[in-house]
């Protein structure tokens, strides 16, 4: 079993509104999986079904090869998009309570909380009330109680909203370390660029349906279009651009740096960069040469448009 979670044609309907329409997913163990799509696409509904907050009308979910059951709850950590804590409860007390809800013993929870509080350098918050903390501070507590019971699967819904960039990076690092320790992580977000670099696998969800999923590198390979960004150092406008335009498909071009740098994008025939670079050698100094890889956002838009 290499998948921690498998969804099989999961459908959910609220009244006349179809929230999920036969969505199937396979989430490999020990990966970071991006569940991407605009607001209202059905991501949160799917996540709630995985957390057994609501139940699918049709279809089934398998956790680690078994049909999803009550006891799997303690193996999942969930940071919801709509998150908060009891405002007038003390930080430590509250963290202990939530940890015990996930099945940890009190003494266990204390030891682990101490570890995490020291790690995130918030040990002196133990007796503070949530309402005395800033939103970013509360988010750290929220993160700790999500991961404290060392779940096999962590689900983050819009994880970085509410964090300042410094803390967002801190949390990002912590998540990567958890992944290295063997945890599978699902990111759900409509801000695709925020998690793209982290995700190994993605699924695109649009209007209650999954429109694309798989390994991100494979998807990018499939969607790449052999367009390259090139920057050349040139002495003057010596007809090089015209020469290139004759021989290659130049999409756009411009001179910068008082005419000493020529930037252009070029569409090359597939897997034939050698020929292009050989043509340039001796004629100009290649300052940069880069394939334009489509972002998840681009892929999403192209997929939606092509349907």
Partner 1 sequence: MTFLSPILMVGMVVLIVYLTKINDSEKRTIGILNESNYFSTDFQGTESTSFIKFKDIGLEAAKDSIQKMGFYGLLYIPNDKDLEQVVSRSFFYSKDAPGSSILDNLENVFEDRLRMQRLQELGVSVSDFESVDNNFEINTATFSGEQNLKGITEMKAFIGGAFGYLIMMFIIIYGGFVMRSVIEEKTTRIIEVIISSVKPFQLMLGKIIGTSLAGVTQFAIWIISAFIMFGVLILVFDIDPSALNSEAGNAPGLIGGAAYVTASDSAMQLYANELFRIPWIMLICFFVIYFVLGYLIYSSIYAAIGAAVDNETDTQQFIFPIILPLMLAIYVGFFSVFNNPHGPIAVGFSLFPLTSPIVMLMRLPGGIGEGGVPIWEVVVSILLLIITFIGIVWLAAKIYRVGILMYGKKPSYRDLFKWLKY
CA–CA separation, 265 and 48 (whole Å):
44
Least separation, in Å, of the C-beta of 51 and partner 1? 5
Cross-strand partners of 209 = 206
Q: Which stretch binds partner 1 (CB under 8 A): 84-92, 187-195, 256-264, 280-288?
A: 84-92
* Cα 238 to the center of its chain, rounded Å: 46
Q: Which stretch binds partner 1 (CB under 8 A): 85-93, 192-200, 222-230, 292-300?
A: 85-93
Least separation, in Å, of the C-beta of 33 and partner 1? 18
Cβ atoms within 10 A of the Cβ of 36, count?
28
Q: Which residue has the tokens 């790449």?
A: 224
CA–CA separation, 296 and 302 (whole Å):
10
For partner 1, give the closer residue by CB, 34 or 151. Answer: 151
Least separation, in Å, of the C-beta of 225 and partner 1? 41
**Percent helix / strand / coil, the chain, rounded to 5:** 35, 30, 30
For partner 1, give the closer residue by CB, 163 or 264. Answer: 163
CA atoms within 13 A on the CB side of 33: 27
Which one among 43, 72, 102, 206 touches partner 1, defined by CB under 8 A? 102
Pairing verdict, β 201-206 and 32-36: parallel
- Single out the residue of 44, 46, 71 nearest to residue 56, CA to CA: 46
For partner 1, give the closer residue by CB, 87 or 247. Answer: 87
For partner 1, give the closer residue by CB, 41 or 266. Answer: 41
Residues 133 to 152 in contact with partner 1, rule: CB under 8 A: 142, 145
Least separation, in Å, of the C-beta of 249 and partner 1? 51
Q: What are phi and psi of 109, to 5 degrees?
A: -60, -40
Residues 238 to 297 in contact with partner 1, rule: CB under 8 A: none
Beta strand ranges found along 54-100 (DSSP E): 58-63, 66-67, 76-79
Q: What is the DSSP letter of 108?
A: H
Residues 9 to 68 in contact with partner 1, rule: CB under 8 A: 14-15, 48, 51-54
Q: Which stretch binds partner 1 (CB under 8 A): 77-85, 180-188, 196-204, 232-240?
A: 77-85
For partner 1, give the closer residue by CB, 152 or 220. Answer: 152
Q: Is 15 left (phi over 0), alpha (psi -120 to 50) or beta?
A: left
For partner 1, give the closer residue by CB, 6 or 54. Answer: 54
For partner 1, give the closer residue by CB, 83 or 302. Answer: 83
* Cα 188 to the center of its chain, rounded Å: 7
Which one among 82, 254, 258, 271 touches partner 1, defined by CB under 8 A? 82
Residues in contact with partner 1 by CB under 8 A are 14-15, 48, 51-54, 73-74, 76, 78, 80, 82-87, 98, 101-102, 142, 145
């Amino acid at each position: 079993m290499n998948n921690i979670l498998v969804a099989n044609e999961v459908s959910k309907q609220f009244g006349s509104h179809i929230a999920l329409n036969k969505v199937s997913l396979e989430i490999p163990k020990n990966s970071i999986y991006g569940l991407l799509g605009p607001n209202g696409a059905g991501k949160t509904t799917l996540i709630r079904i995985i957390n057994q907050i609501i139940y699918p009308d049709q279809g089934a979910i398998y956790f680690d090869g078994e049909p999803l059951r009550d006891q799997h709850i303690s193996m999942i950590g969930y940071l919801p998009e709509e998150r908060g804590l009891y405002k007038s409860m003390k930080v430590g007390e509250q963290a202990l309570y939530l940890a015990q809800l996930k099945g940890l013993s009190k003494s266990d929870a204390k030891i682990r909380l101490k570890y995490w509080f020291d790690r995130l350098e918030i040990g002196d918050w133990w007796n503070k009330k949530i309402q005395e903390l800033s939103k970013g501070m509360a988010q750290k507590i929220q993160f700790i109680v999500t991961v404290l019971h060392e779940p096999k699967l962590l689900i983050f819904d819009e994880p970085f909203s509410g964090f300042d960039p410094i803390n967002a990076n801190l949390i990002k690092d912590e998540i990567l370390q958890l992944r290295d320790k063997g945890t599978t992580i699902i990111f759900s977000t409509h801000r695709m660029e925020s998690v793209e670099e982290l995700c190994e696998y993605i699924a695109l969800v649009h209007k209650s349906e999954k429109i694309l999923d798989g390994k991100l590198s494979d998807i990018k390979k499939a969607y790449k279009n052999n367009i390259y960004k090139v920057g050349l150092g040139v002495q003057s406008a010596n007809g090089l651009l015209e020469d290139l335009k004759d021989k290659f498909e130049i999409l756009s071009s411009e001179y910068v740096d008082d005419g000493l740098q020529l930037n252009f994008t070029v569409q090359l025939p597939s897997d034939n960069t050698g020929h292009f670079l050989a043509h340039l050698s001796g004629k100009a100094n290649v300052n940069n040469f880069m394939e334009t890889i489509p972002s998840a956002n681009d892929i999403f838009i192209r997929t939606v448009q092509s349907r």
